[in-house]
Amino acid sequence: MGVTTLSSRELNQDVGRAKKAAKHGPVFITDRGKPAHVLLSIEDYQRLTGRHRSLVDALAMPGLSEIEFDPPRVTIEGRSAELT
């Protein structure tokens, strides 16, 4: 993952370059030499916000193994289907 830094002026002159760089890591956009904004790919944003997480990602969350989970047993009885 590479980090790219662009000034606001550079961003305005070449948005395509910023979008390509965001595929490989965050792009810091500066105003007067100070970081002001960050451009992320949608995948990085979703990973950071926890949206569109897969089941594998959710189960790999840190600290998940320390959560006690003991659901009650449920018995489901089958019944015959009426096909008339």
Please write the tens of the pLDDT for every residue from 20-45.
Answer: 999 999 999 999 999 999 999 988 88
Domain that holds residue 23: 4-54
CATH of the domain at 11: 3.40.1620.10
Both tokens assigned to 5: 């830094």
Strands (E) located in the chain: 4-7, 27-31, 34-39
Higher per-residue pLDDT: 13 or 44: 13
Angstrom CA distances, 72 to 64, 65, 68, 75, 77, stand at 19, 19, 13, 10, 16
Residue 52's pLDDT is: 67
Residue 65 covered by a domain:
no
Angstrom CA distances, 25 to 9, 22, 39, 45, stand at 20, 5, 9, 11
Residue 15 covered by a domain:
yes
Please give the model's pTM, rounded to 2 decimal places: 0.58
pLDDT tens, position by position, 63-84: 777 778 788 888 888 888 888 7
